[in-house]
């Protein structure tokens, strides 16, 4: 009878084996049963920042911090901001040093939108057990309007050269454009006239070290000699000290170098204009094709420019020609390109008093030597640059 009771006891405990380890020890006529719990629990998310379920903040940048505790290896930890994935770490197997616990620390700096921001963390262990936890951060950010904007202009022009033939109009064009931008559009203008390549690069670098507000704009105008090298397949800005016989182009500023420098200036909105020969080869696709007759146009619509300017990063350029020579113009009469640009400026944007890159190009595209326009590294679709008349 005692043997039958022992069998019945073991039968009753059998269902526990799926989630527990059963150890049976026999001693004389008694049966002793030990159950060691091996059930795997879901991961646990411990928030550090935000430290509240709903947290009010007044800054745009915010750091998400959380710890993930799991009794088994974590297979994936994903972080989302307003439904968009920020990061996902898979296959984590680094433990804490304890016998059975595995930890993961989440730390991510994000930029918040004005209003409610949802932060979600999803953790999954190797048994495909998941946990999701959500917190909200309510950001009260100052609204930036178009009026809270500083417009900068860097005007670079060279007439006088050590070895190249001197030009007539670049400095005259630069002075006139600078005056127009300062007097009628409120730009803070700085000029560099007849500079060496070192002076030009140093001056542009100064603008790369400045701090800019989100709506600030930077307009860069360069006028003077330009050159193209078929071997290097690159265009060049010619400085005062550029040598005629310089196969290595060490005394020139390459378009590829200029592209990199200008695109890395931290201004959200940068517009580059070059009135130089072969200026269109600033675009790599132009540099790699033959002498061109047709300009390539980017799709920049003139409508809703202010709203888009506030939302999208701008890296746009326009040049006085493609892969070709462009005329300097009659002495004291401005170059044809500068003349058309001044004509667009002096229209002051029409009724709305706002001049867009599209409107500027409408003036320039009538030139016999068709100008070239486009975008470079960092530009976002729908971006624009505006000249707002006083």
Provide the CATH number for the domain around residue 157.
3.40.50.1460
Domain residue limits at 21 = 2-37
Question: Do residues 289 and 269 both lie within one domain?
Answer: yes
Burial class, 332, CB count within 10 angstroms (exposed 0-12 / middle 13-18 / buried 19+): exposed
How far is 174 from 160, CA to CA, in rounded Å?
A: 14
Question: Is residue 119 situated within a structural domain?
Answer: yes
Of 139, 160, 188, the last residue of a domain is: 139
Same domain, 121 and 196: no
Q: Which of 139, 163, 182 is the last residue of a domain?
A: 139
Residue 49 lies in a domain: yes
Task: Considering only residues 300 and 128, tell me which one the structure prediction assigns the higher pLDDT.
Answer: 128
Quick: pLDDT tens for 279-289: 444 444 433 33
Number of domains in the chain: 3
**Residue 146 falls within a domain, yes or no?**
no
User: Residue 125 in contact with residue 74, Cβ under 8 Å?
Assistant: yes
Max distance between CA atoms of the chain, in angstroms, equals 124
Torsion angle of C-alpha atoms 372, 373, 378, 382, degrees rounded to 10: -160
252 against 295, higher pLDDT: 252
Asked if 124 and 18 sit in the same domain, the reply is no
Q: Are residues 32 and 86 in the same domain?
A: no
Tokens standing for 292?
């061109």
Residue 125 lies in a domain: yes
Residues 222 and 275 in one domain: yes
Confirm if 386 and 314 have CB atoms less than 8 A apart.
no
β-strand partners of 87: 79
Report the length, in residues, of the chain: 390
Please report the pLDDT score of residue 145 as a whole number.
54
User: Is 144 inside a domain boundary?
Assistant: no
In this predicted structure, what is the pLDDT of residue 98? Answer: 42
**How does residue 26 score in pLDDT terms, banded at 50, 70 and 90?**
very low
Q: What percent of the chain lies above the pLDDT cut of 90?
A: 45
Do 59 and 113 touch, CB atoms closer than 8 A?
Answer: no
Which tokens is 138 given?
């309510």
pLDDT at 67: 92
In the predicted model, what is the mean pLDDT of residues 65-69? 92
Q: How, if at all, do strands 314-319 and 269-275 pair?
A: parallel
Residue 145 located in a structural domain = no
Domain end, chosen from 107, 139, 171, is at 139
Are 33 and 48 within one domain? no
Please check whether residues 21 and 56 belong to one and the same domain.
no
* CA 325 to centroid of chain Cα atoms: 33
From CA 92, how far away is CA 286, in angstroms rounded?
48
83 found inside a domain: yes
List, in order, residues 6 or more apart from 367 with CB less than 8 Å away.
320, 336, 337, 340
- pLDDT surpasses 70 at 96: no
pTM flag (> 0.85): no
- pLDDT computed for residue 104 by the predictor: 84
Q: In terms of domains, do 54 and 32 share one? A: no
Question: What mean pLDDT do residues 159-180 have?
Answer: 95
Residue with tokens 């001056």: 203
CATH number of the domain residue 113 falls in: 2.60.40.10
- Shared domain for 80 and 214, answered yes or no, is no
Decide if 50 is inside a domain: yes
159 and 250 inside one domain = yes
Q: How far apart are CA 66 and CA 341, in angstroms?
A: 55
Check: CB of residue 29 under 8 Å from CB of residue 81.
no
Q: Compute how many other C-beta atoms are within 10 angstroms of the C-beta atom of residue 60.
A: 14
Mean per-residue pLDDT, 84-100: 53
Query: How much is the average pLDDT of 288-311?
Result: 42
Q: Are residues 26 and 61 in the same domain?
A: no
- pLDDT in the model for residue 232: 73
Statement to judge: residues 125 and 272 lie in one domain: no
Confidence of residue 265 (pLDDT cuts 50, 70, 90): very high
- Please, which residues have CB within 8 angstroms of residue 106's CB and are 6 or more apart in sequence? 64, 65, 66, 67, 68, 77, 79, 121
Span 252-266, average pLDDT: 92
């Amino acid at each position: 009878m005692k043997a039958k009771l022992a069998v019945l006891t073991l039968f009753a405990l059998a269902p526990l084996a799926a989630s527990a380890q059963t150890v049976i020890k026999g001693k004389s006529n008694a049966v002793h049963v030990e159950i060691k719990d091996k059930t795997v629990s879901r991961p646990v998310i411990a928030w550090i920042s935000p430290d509240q379920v709903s947290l009010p903040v007044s800054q745009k940048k915010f750091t998400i911090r959380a710890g993930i505790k799991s009794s088994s290896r974590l297979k994936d930890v994903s972080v989302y901001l307003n439904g968009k994935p920020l990061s996902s770490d898979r296959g984590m197997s680094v433990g804490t040093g304890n016998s059975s616990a595995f930890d993961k620390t989440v730390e991510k700096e994000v930029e918040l939108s004005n209003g409610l921001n949802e932060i979600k963390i999803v953790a999954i262990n190797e048994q495909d057990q998941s946990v999701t936890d959500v917190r909200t951060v309510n950001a009260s950010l100052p609204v930036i309007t178009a009026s809270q904007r500083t417009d900068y202009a860097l005007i670079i022009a060279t007439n006088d050269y050590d070895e190249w033939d001197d030009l007539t109009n670049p400095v005259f064009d630069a002075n006139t454009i600078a005056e127009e931008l300062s007097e009628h559009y409120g730009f803070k203008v700085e000029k560099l006239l007849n500079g060496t390549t070192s002076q030009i690069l140093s001056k542009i670098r100064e603008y790369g070290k400045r701090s800019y507000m989100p709506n600030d704009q930077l307009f860069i105008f360069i006028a003077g000699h330009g050159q193209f090298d078929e071997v290097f397949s690159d265009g060049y800005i010619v400085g005062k000290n550029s040598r005629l016989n310089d196969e290595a182009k060490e005394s020139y500023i390459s378009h590829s170098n200029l592209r990199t420098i200008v695109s890395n200036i931290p201004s959200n909105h940068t517009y580059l204009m070059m009135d130089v020969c072969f200026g269109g080869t600033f675009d790599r696709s132009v540099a790699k094709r033959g002498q061109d007759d047709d300009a390539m146009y980017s799709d920049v619509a003139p409508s809703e420019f202010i709203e888009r300017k506030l939302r999208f990063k701008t890296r746009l350029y326009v040049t006085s020609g493609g892969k070709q020579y462009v005329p300097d113009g009659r002495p004291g009469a401005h170059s044809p390109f500068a003349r058309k640009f001044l004509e667009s400026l002096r229209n002051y944007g029409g009724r709305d008093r706002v001049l867009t890159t599209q409107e500027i190009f409408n003036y320039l595209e009538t030139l016999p030597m068709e100008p070239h326009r486009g975008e470079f590294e960092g530009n976002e679709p729908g971006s624009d640059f505006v000249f707002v008349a006083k």
